[in-house]
């Protein structure tokens, strides 16, 4: 039995592209349905860094830092708005193996750097996981404008105020994890993406429209153990 985890999520960019719901539905496991806003499903990339990752109850000083980038979408199951992860690329080999074995998460080992210069974040990731499709991402992003609470803005609320995520385990079973955290504080954001092959690594065509961008300085999170549906 794996204990719940505590961690911090910091310096997040939420990039979201609208795509046809039928296209998204074809990429989802049975039991999950695309969640739709303004008639579209949404394909999302989120670069950030984890800080102080540790079992719940362990002092924060003993946690580890884990830069990460996710490919995800928004789904419902039993009418619960949730997130579905296609992949999670992360820096630490031991952490990636542990997440795959004990939490049934589709983690891939990657070499990642996240550097901060004033309010600008520079993020670089290249997948090196044995046997996995290559995937690369590079870009810079920063907040613009004034902060706001995500529940106050309908589209932002749709994107980030979700407290359950689903994954498909290696045996093709559907699993979920619940998360606890305060409501998100977001900023409008601008981003310059120099390289992104994450979509093609998961069988998606790169959307032709520009994505929406939100930035968050982050928050602290408790994640439950993985559960079978």
Q: Which of 82, 79, 225 is nearest to 159 (CA)?
A: 82
pLDDT at 101: 73
Confidence of residue 1 (pLDDT cuts 50, 70, 90): very low
What is each CA distance from 85 to 1, 89, 121, in whole angstroms?
22, 11, 23
pLDDT by residue (tens digit) across 98-151? 777 767 788 999 999 999 999 999 999 999 998 889 999 999 999 999 999 999
Q: Which of 18, 46, 190 is nearest to 119 (CA)?
A: 190
Confidence of residue 10 (pLDDT cuts 50, 70, 90): very high
3-state secondary structure 73-86: EEEEECCEEEEEEE
pLDDT at 187: 98
Task: Please name each of the domains of the chain with its CATH number.
Answer: 5-219 (2.40.400.10)
| Mean pLDDT of the chain, nearest integer | 94
Determine which of 63-77, 88-102, 177-191, 203-217 has the lowest per-residue pLDDT on average.
Answer: 88-102
77: tokens are 């199951």
Q: Answer with the residue of higher pLDDT: 101 or 205.
A: 205
Rounded CA separation 126/135 (Å): 6
pLDDT at 172: 83
pLDDT at 60: 94
> What is the H or E stretch that residue 5 is in?
strand 5-19
Determine which of 10-19, 57-66, 168-177 has the lowest per-residue pLDDT on average.
Answer: 168-177
Mean pLDDT confidence for 3-13: 95
Quick check: 21 pLDDT over 70? yes
What is each CA distance from 35 to 25, 117, 202, in whole angstroms?
10, 36, 19
Quick check: 216 pLDDT over 80? yes
pLDDT at 210: 94
pLDDT by residue (tens digit) across 44-76? 999 999 999 999 999 999 999 999 999 999 999
Q: Which of 104, 149, 153, 109 is nearest to 127 (CA)?
A: 109
pLDDT at 173: 87
Alpha helix stretches (DSSP H) within the chain: 21-25, 93-102, 154-160, 198-201
Could you tell me the pTM of the whole model?
Answer: 0.95
């Amino acid at each position: 039995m794996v204990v719940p985890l505590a961690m911090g999520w910091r310096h997040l960019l939420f990039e979201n592209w609208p795509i046809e719901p039928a296209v998204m539905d074809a990429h989802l496991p049975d039991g999950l349905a695309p969640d739709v806003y303004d008639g579209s499903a949404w394909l999302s990339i989120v670069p950030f860094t984890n800080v102080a990752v540790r079992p719940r109850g362990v002092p924060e000083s003993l946690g580890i830092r884990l830069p990460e980038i996710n490919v995800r979408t928004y789904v419902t199951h039993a009418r619960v708005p949730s997130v579905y992860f296609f992949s999670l690329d992360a820096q630490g080999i031991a952490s990636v193996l542990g997440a795959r074995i004990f939490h049934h998460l589709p983690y891939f080992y990657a070499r990642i750097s996240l550097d901060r210069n004033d309010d600008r974040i520079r993020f670089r990731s290249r997948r090196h996981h044995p046997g996995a499709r290559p995937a690369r991402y590079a870009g810079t992003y920063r907040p613009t404008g004034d902060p706001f609470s995500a529940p106050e803005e309908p589209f932002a609320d749709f994107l980030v105020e979700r407290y359950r995520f689903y994954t498909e385990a290696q045996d093709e079973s559907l699993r979920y994890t619940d998360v606890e955290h305060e409501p998100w504080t977001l900023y409008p954001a601008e981003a310059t993406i120099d390289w992104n092959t994450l979509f093609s690594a998961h069988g998606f065509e790169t959307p032709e429209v520009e994505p929406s961008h939100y930035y968050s300085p982050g928050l602290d999170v408790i994640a439950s153990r993985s559960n079978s549906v």
